[in-house]
Amino acid sequence: MFDGGSMCLDKNGKLVQLGKSYKEDFILFDTENDKEIKAEVEKSFEEEVLSSLIYGVREYFEKMKFKKAVVGLSGGLDSAMVTYIAVEALGKIMFTLF
């Protein structure tokens, strides 16, 4: 899976534009006007993994043309994380809890 975050660098290797992570983005880069920008604050490892999981689930459902998901929950922490990822990726009405 491509995580995004495409970069445009000037002739001196300085970052001038940075694409979004785990989202579609479109960047126009003017090679004549290469003012340096500050990169967005990097995510923690945990935030990066969570963003990747949400993106992956969303993309998989879209590509497979699934309309619903069934999630079995036990009530533990792992169930809470699965529910959170499902809601973030698919929305509240896309899955059924059992």
The predicted pLDDT at position 47 comes to: 84
What is the token pair recorded at 51? 């963003």
Once rounded to an integer, what is the mean pLDDT over residues 44-73?
Answer: 87
Q: Is the CB of residue 85 less than 8 Å from the CB of residue 55?
A: no
Indicate if the pLDDT at residue 53 is higher than 80: yes
Q: Give the residue ranges of DSSP H helices in the chain.
A: 45-64, 77-90
The predicted pLDDT at position 67 comes to: 83
- How crowded is the C-beta side of 81, counted as CA atoms within 13 Å? 9
Domain ranges of the chain: 1-40, 43-98
Q: Which of helix, strand or coil describes residue 27?
A: coil
